[in-house]
Structure 1
C-alpha cells in the first residue's frame, strides 16, 4: 500500500500506522521553514525599522507589529487575529511603496508568517506576489 501525502501546513501532524492515543494534547510553534513565529515577527520589525516609511505610515505599522508580537507570544495565538494584523501591515507597507523599496528584507518574514498561517495567509501571499 502506498500513501501520497500532500502539503501539510500548520499544527502538529502525525502520520501513524495503526492506533494512536494522545493524552494532554499536542502543540507546534515552528513555521514551515523551522523558525519560531516570534523570531519572524522580530525579523519583520527589524526590516520595517530599516525601510524608508513615510512619517504618516510608520506609527501605524509599528502599532500593528506591537499587537502582532503580543498575539504570537500567547500560548495559543489566534491565527485569524494574526492574519488580520499581518494583512494590515502588508497593505500599509505596499501602499507606502516600502515593499518595493525594501525588497526581500520585508517579503521574507511576511511570506514566512503567511506560510505559518496556512490558508489564512493566502491573501497575504497574493498581495506579495509570491
Structure 2
C-alpha cells in the first residue's frame, strides 16, 4: 500500500508505517506571521532600550534590519532569518543584555525562533543555556 501525502501543516505530524509509541506526550507551538511581526516589534524596542555600547548597538541594528527585511518578504527565507537572529542573540548575550533585560529581549527572540521552526532550534538552545 502506498500513501501519497502532499501538504501537511500542523504543529505535530507523525507519519508512521508501523507502530509508534510516544512517552511523555507531544506538544507543538504554532506562531502566526502576525505574532512573529509583533515579536519583532517588541524585540526592536527592547534592543533600543538596552544599554549597549555604540559598536554593539550598530551590530545589533544591522542584524535587526536584516531580520526585518526577511520578515517582510512574501515567502520569508527562514534559514536566512534564523542566521541573522542567531547572530543578534549572540551579540546581545555577549553584551550581557540577555541577562539584564531578559524579559524584554528573550520573550520576543523565543517567539521568533519558534516561528522559524527547525531553523530556530539553535537560537532556542542559546536561550536555554541562559537559564
Q: Tell me by how many angstroms 1:36 deviates.
A: 2.7
TM-score w.r.t. structure 2 length?
Answer: 0.72
User: Match of 2:53?
Assistant: 54
Residue 64 of structure 1 pairs with residue 42 of structure 2: no
Residue 111 of structure 1 pairs with residue 110 of structure 2: yes
Segments of 4+ in structure 1 off by > 6 A? none
Q: Tell me by how many angstroms 1:128 deviates.
A: 0.8
Q: Tell me by how many angstroms 1:33 deviates.
A: 4.7
Aligned residues: 105
Q: Tell me by how many angstroms 1:12 deviates.
A: 3.4
Provide closer, same or farther for how the CA distance between residues 13 and 32 of structure 1 changes in structure 2, counting only shifts above 3 A: closer
Residue 12 of structure 1 pairs with residue 9 of structure 2: yes
TM-score w.r.t. structure 1 length?
Answer: 0.73
Query: CA-atom RMSD, angstroms?
Result: 2.2
Tell me whether 37-46 or 85-94 shows the greater mean CA deviation: 37-46
Whole-Å separation in 2 of the counterparts to 1:84 and 1:121: 9
Whole-Å separation in 1 of the counterparts to 2:66 and 2:125: 23
